[in-house]
Structure 1
Amino acid sequence: MKVAYLKKLLEQVDYQCMQGTIDVEVDKIIYDSRKVEKDCLFFCIPGTVVDGHTFAEEAVLKGATILVIEKEVVVPSHVTIIKVENVRKAMAIMSATYFDYPADKLKVIGITGTKGKTTTTYMVKSILESAGHKVGLIGTIEAIIGEEKIPANNTTPESYILQEYFYKMLEAGCDIAVMEVSSQGLMMHRVAGFLFEFGIFTNIEPDHIGPNEHASFEEYMACKGMLFQQCKTGIVNIDDKHAKDVIEGHTCAIETFGFSEGADIRATNTRLVSEPGYLGVTYHVSGLIDFEVEIDVPGKFSVYNSLTAIAICRHFHADIQTIQKALKVAKVKGRIEMIQVSNDFTLMIDYAHNAMSLESLLTTLKEYNPKRLVCLFGCGGNRSKLRRYEMGEVSGRLADLTVITSDNPRDEEPQVIIDDIKIGLAKTQGDFIEIIDRKEAIAYVIDHGQKGDVIVLAGKGHEDYQEIKGKKYPMDERVIINEILEERKSR
């Protein structure tokens, strides 16, 4: 167990000691009132739904002896009260100090953008580990620290968890950390307290705009842009029409990538590759580095993802052959993950779970001119009905056949969700069938796959569960597919 003095933890923080003394030991830092322990330090975080200040008294009753606040609280005199301007920011800085600034001993790569973050982080990890580095990863799916894989709750974890991960990466022998940096993570100061070696901007589209997220697209862009005031070198997709707005006010050196002639690293001569059970793309990368690339993931956005990874890894002196081989084998669970089931058609799993991501995916797949494009998906319960209408309309318009099924129905009846999806489908001429049970639906598309088809199972991606009435049941589409294939063999 780590132990630090409060005085030491506050060395980089502007604060007022409102009560008690700073000459005390801290052996436990807590930010969740449900996990308060005896003699801990508790951060009173003002959240979007719940304000941690309302739990100050309860935290003290549970044994907290130090509170970090930004609003007034009344607690017994034996409790030390530290007042700061922003609790979240103070927590990030104090957490970095608590773990002895682990990010300063790593080369930390931060990737932000609406799309492409997850895939790019895995590509970077694949390349740099092939080049001899040991790389930790933090992202939407999981954190990977040595041999340990930790499922993710947030794309960018809370600052204390983030610093703990960096600390564990050093213990595991990592020299590089690559992470997804969400706009929420930036806005909530989860990545405060250290400097990124590289900050990367992939793209931006209107997303995460709402009551508990961002008030406007302008705010969303501004939050993304915070990364470029906290890194040494920024690597930016120059093709994105909002790129200049996002990096406005940057304090770092800037490099660019894209298809544009003026990009420092650019892709040319893009060609789609299609074989039975396989879709990919090849292109030539030129500018600051020059070679041919082939990746086993379809579409223009895959070119962007790999080009981003190349732009990053060139700084770590990965040689061309290493980059080429690593990109060819880099895979991300649930992100256009192709599953070999037949030599006649192509089957893939993808996380596309809103209209924007589904449209991007289906548009990309249509470019390969499949005999039929088959899209299987459902929508989550206890979520916006608008998403259901929009996804139904997108699939009806772009897919030759839509198979509507269950996703995570949560507290809703699956048939009610399917009926909502059909409202969107009704605006199109697209053919569809409905099969409530997801395994039955997957069996149907496998059994009825035709030569030249491209079949996508959308929405679940990397998830290995189905949430029904507050309980998560095991459901991994890879396992389901194997079960179906085994059942067919035994017939």
Structure 2
Amino acid sequence: MNLKDVLRGIDYKIIKGKNNLNIGEIQYDSRKVKTGDLFVCIAGYVTDGHKYIESAFKNGAAAIVLSKKVDFIPDCTVIEVKDTRKALALMSSNYYDNPAEDMKIIGITGTNGKTTSTFMVKSILETAGYKVGVVGTISNYIGNKKIPSHRTTPESLELQKLFKEMVDDGVDYCVMEASSHSLYLDRVYGVEFCQALFTNLTRDHLDFHKTFEEYYKSKIILFKNTVNSVINIDDKYGERVYEDAKGKKLTYAIDKNADLMADNLKIHSRGVNFNISYEGNTKHINLNIPGKYNVMNALGSAGVCLAEGIDLNTVKKGLEDMPSVPGRCEIVTKSYNLGYEVVVDYAHTPDGLENILKCAREFTKGKLISVFGCGGDRDSTKRPIMGNIGTKFSDFAVVTSDNPRGEEPMAIIKDILTGIKKNNYIVIENRKEAIKKAMEMAETGDVVVIAGKGHEDYQILKDRTIHFDEREIVAEIIEESTVNN
């Protein structure tokens, strides 16, 4: 593709060479550069692409895009832009023929509920007859084709490539989780959204954003480039989002007056029944995921689809036909007659842990037992908070390791213990043994909540990553128990 076409819509300056040349592919990793490629210098978490210009040139780069003054100017075309991240997003879109213009993009952001909401919106849209793509934490989807996901929102180059694949496959709507990282780092820069959904905002990612205000500012970016915003006004930040958002707005709530509301909630271990009301019409919904917060997810997802012109009957059918979401309040003992339930959930924030435990409490007839830890190399200030929440909202807790990464598991656990105010816990560092102990303690009517990893099928240790699927582990423990008995 001609470099001039790749640079369309970007304010740039030619430092050396010419812009009228053909390039191969766009790269931001110098190790992937091949002869004829365009290398874009991106500043990452650990290092800066400007340090690897010489390496990219030696690997055959025909052109370099940079934003800083550098000591080494290679003997190829060199282009200067103000911001290489924004330039990468626009160049990637141009390179793949601006695929986002050929389908509708729905963005979902918030601390919790993004993944479940994408699955709900996907189900409603498919019920309405549309072909849907998904960009998210668990996996990416093009229709029913599942594609592995390595981060919640891919870098702009990979995202635009995925958009192109969706368009080529006839996708009408792309529903995507828009993480605070992706918004702050301009991975979705230049993409116009037809709908932007705000789920909630609670403490998370302060290792990256440093302050809660910066975290909020990252989230609000999505609502500056959308046709319509769908906003949870039961959340304390919802009113602020409503004021800051551009374009049309639709509100949803359970406890406050809003455009879209739910009432008459009946929560049980296999789901929740409730009424949904919009513009004078009411429908009864039988959702197959329990919890008040999943009613909120359903409301937000319904709001997005209603704003797209889909009728309430179709919304009802789409919500009721939605399959369970892996690792999101997932009851993994449905096929066993144990007398107690085991729930696996991705909750890894204070608010997420409190939500899943309150949800489980609503259908617990006996004791509520939790298994939880905290990830390493992440915001350590939330650890004591989660220790307090995990023991406060459980009858008994097993504090264990999560993904320790580069930290010592017991050091993380000690941080968690500083926030505990009740004597209703034990510490078992080995996560499998912790799960086993919780299940051995469980009796008829009890519920065991395993929080933190959810859909993940791995555990990240200091020196390696191991296979670790909690659904498999629960099944193994049940089978071992059956054999021994």
TM-score, normalised relative to structure 2: 0.92
Contact 1:372–1:454 (Cα < 8 Å) also in 2: yes
Counterpart contact for 1:465–1:472, Cα < 8 Å: yes
Contact 1:204-1:242 at 8 Å conserved across structures: yes
Unpaired runs of at least 5, structure 2: none
Tell me the SS of whatever aligns to 1:480.
helix
Tell me the residue number matched to 1:151: 148
Q: Which residue identity does 2:106 align to in structure 1?
A: I
Output the CA distance in 1 between the equivalents of 2:416 and 2:255: 39
Question: 1:310 maps to which residue?
Answer: 302
Which moves more between the two structures, 311-320 or 389-398? 311-320
Matches within 5 A, 1:8-407: 8-76=5-73, 78-210=75-207, 213-259=208-254, 262-272=257-267, 274=268, 278-288=269-279, 289-328=281-320, 329-339=322-332, 340=334, 341-342=336-337, 344-368=339-363, 370-383=365-378, 385-407=380-402
Q: Distance in 1 between matches of 2:224 and 2:417?
A: 46
Q: Deviations over 1:138-181 (max 9, x none)?
A: 11222112444333332221111111111111122211100011
- Work out the CA distance in 2 between the residues paired with 1:370 and 1:388: 29
**1:250–1:448 Cα change, 3 Å:** closer
C-alpha displacement at 1:236, in angstroms?
1.4
Instruction: State the 1:386 CA deviation.
Output: 4.1
* Partner of residue 422, structure 2: 428
**What is the percentage of aligned positions where both structures have the same residue?**
42
Give the 5 Å matches for 1:428-467. Answer: 428-429=422-423, 431-467=424-460
Q: Are the counterparts in 1 of residues 364 and 447 from structure 2 also a CA contact under 8 Å?
A: no
Q: Which amino acid aligns with 2:85?
A: R
Question: Could you tell me how far apart the structure 2 residues matched to 1:290 and 1:156 are?
Answer: 35
8 A contact 2:205–2:378 mirrored in 1: no
Call closer, same or farther: CA 1:418–1:241 in 2, change over 3 Å. closer
Change in CA separation of 1:413 and 1:483 when aligned onto 2, cut-off 3 Å: same
TM-superposed deviation, 1:405: 2.9
Is the Cα–Cα contact under 8 Å of residues 374 and 399 in structure 1 kept in the other structure?
yes
Q: Distance in 1 between matches of 2:407 and 2:75?
A: 49
Secondary structure at 1:293 match in 2? strand
One-letter amino acid matched to 1:8? D
Structure 1 unaligned blocks of 5 or more = none
Q: CA RMSD in A?
A: 2.3
Once the two structures are superposed, residues 40-88 of structure 1 have per-residue CA deviations (whole angstroms, 9 ceiling, x without a partner) of 1111112343221121122112211211111123445631111111110
Where 1:335 maps in the other structure, the secondary structure is: coil
SS in 1 for 2:206: coil
Contact in 2 for aligned 1:224/1:246 (Cα 8 Å): no
The structural deviation recorded for 1:389 is 3.0
2:117 touches 2:298 (CA, 8 Å); kept in 1? yes
1-structure distance, mates of 2:55, 2:39: 11
SS in 1 for 2:130: coil
Seen in structure 2, the aligned counterparts of structure 1 residues 367 and 411 have a Cα distance that, compared at 3 Å, is same
Does structure 1 conserve the Cα–Cα contact (< 8 Å) formed by 2:231 and 2:241?
no
Equivalent residue letter for 2:262:
A
Match of 2:465 among 472, 476, 484: 472
Q: CA deviation at 1:321?
A: 4.4
Counterpart AA for 1:126 = S
Superposition TM-score, scaled by structure 1 size: 0.91
Q: Give the C-alpha shift of residue 336 in structure 1.
A: 0.7
Matched residue count: 480
